[in-house]
């Protein structure tokens, strides 16, 4: 194994470690939501600092590779893809942190009927499964799985598109729960965004393996810049 291969392996290990952290944030968010577990929500938020450290570390490692080894062809595509995958993982972590904050600040446990009528838990299931499969697609260089992931984002889009109507009906029947309903609306938007970010990762897998650029069919669903992506949590809540 030459030095470039060693450096690439080190970056790959860091990406996997970061992925573990982000997976904990996403999966833990669902548990915290269902169980009104504010302590778990705090842990998810705290974990965000570690994710940010990995984000910076991976970026610097990739920059060093450019400077020292001048990678070409497949190695170059891999590094370019990792830079974007790293950015999207960090954004997923930020989004999961925003959900945890909403759970932590809720006055009461979320009503089971509200969770059911909005299908927010089904949305969580889809996002969790997509995150697992995106990791597998990258590890196994499986472009078929990556392309399937891009199509599966429609599941989250569909639930999100029906959420407003479901929330209005719930609020009309339970006006005392309007604060909860608004938080769930916020969580649904964030989960939809996580689906977009995972789709971005899948596109990078296709780019790295097949040297093809894959774009969303819905142009208005492109990720915004980093500050926008954080969704201005304070103002929304």
- The token pair that represents 152 in the structure block: 């599966």
Provide the whole-model pTM. Answer: 0.89
Residues 219/65, Cβ–Cβ less than 8 Å: no
Q: Is residue 237 part of a domain?
A: no
CATH number at residue 153: 1.20.58.220
Task: Report whether 102 contacts 95 (CB < 8 A).
Answer: no
Q: What's the mean pLDDT when you consider all of the chain?
A: 91
Q: Is residue 187 part of a domain?
A: yes
Give the residue carrying structure tokens 């969790």: 128
In contact, 30 and 40? CB cutoff 8 Å: no
Residue 102 lies in a domain: yes
Q: What is the CA radius of gyration of the chain?
A: 19
Cβ atoms of residues 125 and 63 within 8 Å:
no
CA distance linking residue 154 with residue 177, whole number of Å: 29
User: For residue 176, is it within any domain?
Assistant: yes
pLDDT at 104: 97
Strand blocks (E) in 164-221:
none
Separation of alpha carbons 20 and 7, rounded Å: 20
The count of domains in the chain is 1
What are 47-60's pLDDT values in tens digits? Answer: 999 999 999 999 99
Enter the tokens of residue 213.
Answer: 């650029």
* Cα–Cα distance measured from residue 124 to residue 130, given in angstroms and rounded to the nearest whole number: 10
Percent of the chain with pLDDT over 90: 83
Instruction: List the structure tokens of 43.
Output: 């842990």
Residue 180 lies in a domain: yes
Mean pLDDT confidence for 15-31: 98
Residue 232 lies in a domain: no
Length of the chain: 237
Residue 124 within a domain: yes
Residue pair 96/44 in contact by the 8 Å Cβ criterion: yes
CA 197/CA 15 separation, integer angstroms = 16
Residue 71 reports pLDDT greater than 60: yes
Asked, for residue 235, whether it belongs to a domain, the answer is no
What angle separates helix 3-35 from helix 73-105, to the nearest 10 degrees? Answer: 20
Q: Give CA angle at 42 (11, 106), nearest 5°.
A: 135
**Sign of the four-CA dihedral 28, 29, 32, 34:** negative
Q: What domain range includes position 106?
A: 3-225
Residue with tokens 């009528």: 117
pLDDT tens digits along 73-103: 899 999 999 999 999 999 999 999 999 999 9
């Amino acid at each position: 194994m030459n030095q470039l291969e060693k450096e690439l392996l080190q970056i790959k290990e860091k990406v996997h470690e970061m992925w573990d952290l982000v997976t904990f944030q996403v999966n833990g968010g669902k548990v915290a939501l269902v169980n009104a577990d504010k302590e778990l929500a705090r842990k998810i938020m705290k974990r965000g600092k570690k994710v940010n450290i990995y984000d910076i570390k991976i970026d610097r490692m990739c920059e060093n590779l450019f400077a020292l080894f001048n990678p070409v062809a497949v190695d170059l595509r891999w590094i370019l893809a990792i830079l974007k995958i790293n950015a999207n993982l960090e954004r997923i972590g930020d989004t999961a942190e925003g959900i945890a904050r909403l759970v932590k600040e809720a006055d009461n446990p979320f009503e089971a009927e509200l969770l059911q009528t909005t299908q927010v838990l089904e949305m969580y299931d889809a996002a969790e499964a997509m995150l697992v499969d995106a990791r597998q697609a990258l590890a196994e260089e499986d472009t078929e799985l990556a392309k399937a992931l891009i199509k599966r984002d429609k599941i989250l889009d569909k639930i999100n598109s029906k959420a407003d109507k479901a929330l209005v009906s719930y609020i009309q029947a339970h006006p005392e729960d309007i604060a909860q309903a608004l938080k769930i609306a916020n969580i649904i938007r964030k989960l939809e965004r996580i689906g977009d970010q995972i789709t971005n990762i899948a596109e990078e897998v296709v780019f790295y393996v097949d040297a093809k650029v894959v774009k969303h069919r819905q142009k208005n669903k492109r990720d915004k810049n980093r500050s926008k992506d954080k969704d201005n949590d304070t103002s929304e809540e």
